[in-house]
Structure 1
Amino acid sequence: MDLAVGQQPSNSLAYTNRVYVSHPDWEFLLSRVANPEASKIEDDALLITVNGLVFAVSPNKGIETGNIGLNSLQRRFGVFTLTQRVKVDIFESNAGLALTSVIVRVDLLAKGKVKSPLQLATEEMAGAFKAAFLSQVLQTQQPLAWDFRGTKLELIIESFQNLIPGGNCPNAGQLLQPTDVVFTKEKGAMVALSGANSGAPRDNIINPDFDFGKLGIGGLGNEFNQIFRRAFASRVFPGHIVKQLGINHVRGMLLWGPPGCGKTLIARTIGKILNAREPKIVNGPEVLDKYVGGSEERIRELFKDAEKEQQEMGDGSGLHVIIFDEIDAICKSRGSSRDSTGVSDSIVNQLLSKIDGVNSLNNILVIGMTNRKDMIDEAVLRPGRLEVHVEIGLPDEEGRLQIISIHTKSMREHKRIAPEAVEKLAELARATKNYSGAEIEGLVKSAASFAFQRNVNVKDLSQLKEEELIVEWADFQRALLEVPPRLGANSEELEVLFRNGIVPYGSSFDAIMMTLRRFVQQVRVSDRTPLLSVLLEGAPSTGKTAIAASLGVQSEFPFVRVVSADAMVGFSETAKCAAILKAFQDSSRSPLSVIVLDDLERLIDYSPIGPRFSNTVVQTLLVLLKKPPTSPDKRLLVIGTTSVAAHLEDLQLVQGFNVMLTVPQLTGPEEIKTVLREVVTSLSQKEMDDITSAISQPIGIKQLLMVTEMARQGEETVSTDRFLECLHICGF
């Protein structure tokens, strides 16, 4: 039958998603029904087609005979105009039309009339939706008007799945009681959906296609796993799941560690890792403003977009990432600044209130980076703010190999590196213990500079042999000497302390070295003694410093640091304590470390007259000597040297060491002869006997070496008389 399109007699009928006809037309349609079970859905509702579109039809006395009443959404869907003649037929449903699931987009029917998102519970919506439209046939992209608990909504059928896909009506499906209904939010809609039936499209916040190697990041796999677990994992799940657990998302994290280990590199690449809007990257000092209140205003501007989106979208808001590089510049402990403006404290207060204040945001992630964690206000670091603290430390051997591979990738692709060097990259990774990522990059640059130098003729710069520009393995070996690690063992600095080598002068020396090597092995392998301290005491010039330095080199520990008074000339007590503390803190970043506290009496400013000493430095040493490494996989050996152990014992400094070993002077003739044979090969046995008989008192090995060198000056050989004369000059 043909009917004319008209309006529905009342607005309330628009929310039923039915079309309406007059009673005479209704009776005519009933007479045309061949299979009531397939066409009749209620006593007063049939399934019909209007120009091929399926609707449910009911009678209404407000409709004139020959007309069919459609609401505005139905007319828009079918592209119908008022008074247009349309063809109406009976529609028969079948089992294949049954819907197993349907996804419905939700928006407000009257847009622009609310200022904040309306919270809608999707579990209640699903039940009410099926009660309102049960047995109706839905079509893709069909708009529906719906009154849910007094809220007028516009629904769009986005997609669905039929019980039997590919039936005779692929774009239509019948809503039944078992059908799963999932609601998603229309883009820009002022509604916030929550609950298990919320199928709001959740973008994967981690881009599945990212590759650390392509992004230029190596050796940070464990750190990224920890960052994802603590900061991003909860955001992958729907909001109702997180609410069921009763937790809040992590709003902030702190990346800290020594310079050059990749904190800023993470900031540069995190935007490529996140499958979301670009993060805001702010250098800490850039926040500061010369105008009063300007710095606080800049902090508020950083959070403005997140606040606006949360007001509009509620829990459906996307993630806003704000990255502060060098955050210690703006988050110093309140009260520590000496200026009279209080700007630093105000910035901290403003940041605290934005991250976790009264109106806290749930759609932000603040990432701060620093190498001075100790300077940051403790309120910033508490749970709820920058609660996740990830140490970006020195890379292990596998990480160093990844970094070396990244920085030599272009060389290898363009065949600018020798095959031998490519084969030995793993060996280079083993040799770069305690190198940071930035230092490894500097190492590769240094190796390339040797290749440049080899192929450049300064006198004729026009003759460049580009084809011969190859980085050799020898270039990397030279670069290892030129670019030492900041937290490594500087062998040249240590070898200066025993420039003339070590002379094994007798059994007493061998016993000391054997004991010290046993201590090194104990620190290396024992799980029960991660910290071991040894004090070498003895008379002056017995070679205590040389023994300690040589042991540091022989140990092959990646971190060896000498703390001596000559590097602290002019330091105040506070500065000395800070320097000593820094050496111990740096050692905690290395798996195996040796610290040599050389000449303890000079470190503490000890003077026998008085006696006088620096109690602040003494207390610092006592505390640090007893403090084990913070990480279970870190080991530390501390070696101290002193010539006044008896006086230090009164200060309880000796008791702070686990073991005290005495380095003796040369006493027996055989020990003296052993040293002389090592230095002077031209002495006869009689001359040696005369010299040893003249040395009646114990003598330090350094003193004996000095006297021998004095006697050799200007002479081809060392005579007994000359030696005894020099011995007398030196006070023996």
Structure 2
Amino acid sequence: MAGRSGSKTMIVTNTPAKDLAYTNCAYCSPSDVRQFLLPGSNIALALVGDVFVLSIAAYDTIQSGQIGLNAIQRRHARVSTGDPVSVCRFIPPEDFNIALLTLELEFVKKGNKEEQVDAVLLAQQLRKRFVNQVLTSGQRVTFEYHGNGFIFTVTQVTVEGQDKSNNIERGMLVSDSYIVFEASNSSGIKIINQREAASSNIFRHKEFNLQSLGIGGLSAEFADIFRRAFASRVFPPHVASKLGVKHVKGMLLFGPPGTGKTLMARQIGKMLNGRDPKIVNGPEVLSKFVGETEKNVRDLFADAEQDQKTRGDQSDLHVIIFDEIDAICKSRGSTRDGTGVHDSIVNQLLTKIDGVEALNNVLLIGMTNRKDLLDEALLRPGRLEVQVEISLPDENGRLQILQIHTNKMKENSFLAPDVNLQELAARTKNYSGAELEGVVKSAVSYALNRQLSLDDLTKPVDEESIKVTMDDFVNALHEVIPSFGASMDDLERCRLNGIVDCGQRHDHIFKRTMLLTEQVKVSRGSPLVTVLLEGPSGSGKTAMAATVGIGSDFPYVKIISAESMIGLSEASKCAQIVKVFEDAYKSTLSIIVLDDIERLLEYVAIGPRFSNLISQTLMVLLKRLPPKGKNMLVIGTTSEVSFLDSVGICDAFSVTYHVPTLKTEDAKKVLQQIKVFSDDDIDAAAEALNDMPIKRLYMVVEMAAQGEYGGGAEAIYSGKETIQISHFYDCLQDIVRY
């Protein structure tokens, strides 16, 4: 922390000699200097009038108790000669060195003269002349350069390791501080070699704290973007020309919705020292008038073109951010609107980014959820060449995002001590950044709702008692479901009767299938494992597949069934199936259940008829390896294995397991677990259920439980009564076995 000590009042006097006015030092008697010396140093610093910090030098002619200030210093401190001023020793805090200093130049004597100032040489002179001096934002300093008297005003001070000082922008000038100069057009000062004055060291000292920018879990992606798109621009133009490279002029951020693409682009635009970025939503560019859309695109680049013509290499960087770029840059020839507007937009954009008169002072940032829709010419090197996937955050990334969104409530003591963000990060697999924000909002809504009374909404609210608890977050997790997560509701519906022990044969197949999930987790040689569960209708294949999906704890589990595609055309069904697989590729671990494959293929035995388009789609997807680092298990179920074998789909599965009907001993085990028969009747009922599929067993039991001879389903399932075996036989005879 900065310290003050020995505060005293001194009388203001003039600087003892004219040439000393250019040193920016304050002068006092040798006896007074000692009290301003820093411990263990010969540097003396003093805070003068609580306004600025000056280096103190000794001068024999100044009397004790006086301090010599030049005219600029007196004006800034609002004192005159003879006035008292408070002076105290200033001890600089740690990490006080200036990384970046921005100065505005003007002549001491205003006039019509003009002067070219070399920013590199001037920066060297100022660093040498004012080294170890403390400069404060707003401070004005006189200096002499090449026979001219100048004044610089400190407009920005950036201290190493932080964006700003705690309250006042202030820091110590050191030998490697970088100085950027500004001058108004009316000053008569023209600054040359400005870009050389600030090199990449600015960014080496000034850390980008992504968490403070509200970006969580994207540090690797941000480092990749910075290296490829900005590193060459940080260096002076002559360095890039000596290397013989051109700057990157475009980048594309793509990935699932809600992962932070727009946020990343917005913060990139803020962090650059160039002009404020132009943010364009794709559809806004479109116009119903012929040629108007292309003009809108040209207008976006007009400022950059003018800047490059007038300033050349000294031009500022112009950032243009295209949100939803797929709306206007679809692959040429793909739209059938008859106007060709989309094609001409792509052409216009291509010529602006990398045409004959290409601009070098533009950075185009495009964002999309559908990279596959973009014209391939846009994606080649020289155009949107830096393509960074902003994917779903990992556990550490999710923790960072949750910390960002709960930071304010933690600071203000609204977060209950039982909230464990680490546990929440572990439980929110495949949640995007936007969905995590939704979880926090939902949790807060539960906490706020506890403080409200629907009977009287005007009742005063006790702010102090608002606490967001772990239970609120757990409830929020049930409310905000991730788009790329496990479809637990769909999976649970596939096993309405729960899971019971169906005997050794079923248990063996279930354990084998669960072993495949472990193989997928750890395997490097088989990122795609496929298994087909075949057997008679109702034998429990779908329930088993759903149980494997739930028990796997994989972040992405989806079921593809014919019931979700009723009325769709073949092409639409294919697109929907492909989308589920494409979504799965965004997750590190995923399970897809292809339920009743023959129904998906629209198989009819008469004919026989089936959809070859869907069949070919499935065969391609079952053999296509997921992207690097992604592992997938596909579980198929079918009651028509001979048909699937005839069209070649069985060969696409790595493993096939036969799920059998229940034998007598298996049926007995099931009946013992559901406890609907008396001990005397179980053996007889199990014998009657030999070779029965598990689903049909449950149906017969349900029918018998409702029967008039029994005591009603409620009494039977509560254990008060049991099913009469005679009535059970009657129900069993009603069911036709095929």
Q: TM-score range by the shorter chain?
A: 0.7 to 0.9
Pairing 1:203-352 to 2, within 5 Å after superposition: 208=206, 210-352=208-350
Pairing 1:113-128 to 2, within 5 Å after superposition: none
Q: Secondary structure at 2:625's aligned position in 1?
A: coil
In structure 2, the partner of 1:713 is: 706
2:671 and 2:686 in contact (8 A); partners too: no
Deviations 1:160-203 (A, max 9, x none): 6599989xxx96899xxxxxxxxx99978999989xx9835558
**Distance change in 2, residues 1:186/1:541 (3 Å):** closer
Partners of 2:256 and 2:128 in 1: how far apart?
Answer: 62
Partners of 2:295 and 2:334 in 1: how far apart?
Answer: 22
* Deviation of the 1:216 alpha carbon: 1.6
- Say whether residues 1:688 and 2:682 are aligned partners: yes
Partners of 2:431 and 2:736 in 1: how far apart?
Answer: 48
Partners of 2:280 and 2:195 in 1: how far apart?
Answer: 35
Partners of 1:328 and 1:723 in 2: how far apart?
Answer: 63
Q: Secondary structure at 1:661's aligned position in 2?
A: strand
Partners of 1:599 and 1:519 in 2: how far apart?
Answer: 20
Query: In structure 1, which of residues 702, 715, 727 is the aligned counterpart of residue 695 of structure 2?
Result: 702
In structure 1, the partner of 2:433 is: 437
In structure 1, the partner of 2:635 is: 639
- Say whether residues 1:460 and 2:453 are aligned partners: no
**Distance change in 2, residues 1:171/1:154 (3 Å):** closer
**Distance change in 2, residues 1:469/1:648 (3 Å):** same
In structure 2, the partner of 1:620 is: 617
Structure 1: tracts of 5 or more residues without a match: 1-140, 147-152, 175-183
Deviations 1:408-443 (A, max 9, x none): 11111111121111xx11111111110001101110
Partners of 2:262 and 2:470 in 1: how far apart?
Answer: 30
**Distance change in 2, residues 1:155/1:448 (3 Å):** closer
Deviations 1:440-499 (A, max 9, x none): 111011111111221111111222333322111111111111111111013222111112
In structure 2, the partner of 1:629 is: 626
Partners of 1:298 and 1:451 in 2: how far apart?
Answer: 48
**Distance change in 2, residues 1:618/1:472 (3 Å):** same
In structure 1, the partner of 2:654 is: 658
Q: Secondary structure at 2:376's aligned position in 1?
A: coil
- Say whether residues 1:730 and 2:729 are aligned partners: no
2:114 and 2:189 in contact (8 A); partners too: no
Q: Secondary structure at 2:379's aligned position in 1?
A: coil
Partners of 1:583 and 1:397 in 2: how far apart?
Answer: 23
Deviations 1:280-330 (A, max 9, x none): 111111111222211111111111111111122222222111100000111
Paired AA for residue 707 in structure 1:
V
1:145 and 1:154 in contact (8 A); partners too: no
In structure 2, the partner of 1:27 is: none
**Distance change in 2, residues 1:388/1:403 (3 Å):** same
Paired AA for residue 696 in structure 2:
Q
Partners of 1:646 and 1:277 in 2: how far apart?
Answer: 67
Pairing 1:288-687 to 2, within 5 Å after superposition: 288-421=286-419, 424-463=420-459, 464-631=461-628, 633-667=629-663, 669-685=664-680, 687=681
* Deviation of the 1:613 alpha carbon: 0.8
Alignment RMSD, CA only?
A: 3.2
Partners of 1:654 and 1:163 in 2: how far apart?
Answer: 77
Partners of 2:279 and 2:371 in 1: how far apart?
Answer: 19
Partners of 1:267 and 1:702 in 2: how far apart?
Answer: 54
Partners of 2:289 and 2:199 in 1: how far apart?
Answer: 42
Partners of 2:207 and 2:672 in 1: how far apart?
Answer: 70
TM-score, length-scaled by structure 2 = 0.73
2:689 and 2:697 in contact (8 A); partners too: no
1:185 and 1:193 in contact (8 A); partners too: no
**Distance change in 2, residues 1:438/1:237 (3 Å):** same
**Distance change in 2, residues 1:650/1:611 (3 Å):** same
Deviations 1:533-583 (A, max 9, x none): 000001100000000001000000010000111000011111111111110
Moved over 3 A (4+): 143-146, 153-166, 170-174, 184-194, 197-207, 692-696
Deviations 1:597-634 (A, max 9, x none): 00100111111111111111111111111111112x21
2:444 and 2:468 in contact (8 A); partners too: yes
Paired AA for residue 703 in structure 1:
R
**Distance change in 2, residues 1:643/1:214 (3 Å):** same
Paired AA for residue 633 in structure 2:
L
In structure 1, the partner of 2:94 is: none
* Deviation of the 1:154 alpha carbon: 9.3
Partners of 2:397 and 2:597 in 1: how far apart?
Answer: 38
Paired AA for residue 399 in structure 2:
L
Range with greater deviation from structure 2 (212-221 or 472-481): 212-221
Paired AA for residue 333 in structure 1:
S
Partners of 1:306 and 1:407 in 2: how far apart?
Answer: 37
Partners of 1:492 and 1:336 in 2: how far apart?
Answer: 38
* Deviation of the 1:158 alpha carbon: 3.8
2:195 and 2:314 in contact (8 A); partners too: no
Identity %: 52
Range with greater deviation from structure 2 (669-678 or 555-564): 669-678
**Distance change in 2, residues 1:205/1:728 (3 Å):** farther
Deviations 1:320-367 (A, max 9, x none): 111000001110111112212211111111000000001111111100
Structure 2: tracts of 5 or more residues without a match: 1-109, 131-142, 148-179, 712-721
In structure 2, the partner of 1:68 is: none
**Distance change in 2, residues 1:277/1:474 (3 Å):** same
Q: Secondary structure at 2:557's aligned position in 1?
A: strand
Partners of 2:127 and 2:456 in 1: how far apart?
Answer: 82
Partners of 2:415 and 2:181 in 1: how far apart?
Answer: 56
Range with greater deviation from structure 2 (307-316 or 569-578): 307-316
1:604 and 1:613 in contact (8 A); partners too: yes
Partners of 2:291 and 2:408 in 1: how far apart?
Answer: 48
Partners of 1:251 and 1:165 in 2: how far apart?
Answer: 40
* Deviation of the 1:642 alpha carbon: 0.4
Pairing 1:91-170 to 2, within 5 Å after superposition: 158=122
TM-score, length-scaled by structure 1 = 0.73
Paired AA for residue 592 in structure 2:
I
Paired AA for residue 411 in structure 2:
E
* Deviation of the 1:239 alpha carbon: 2.3
In structure 2, the partner of 1:119 is: none
Partners of 2:509 and 2:588 in 1: how far apart?
Answer: 25
Q: Secondary structure at 2:280's aligned position in 1?
A: strand
Partners of 2:464 and 2:526 in 1: how far apart?
Answer: 55
Deviations 1:397-416 (A, max 9, x none): 11111111111111111111
**Distance change in 2, residues 1:241/1:159 (3 Å):** closer
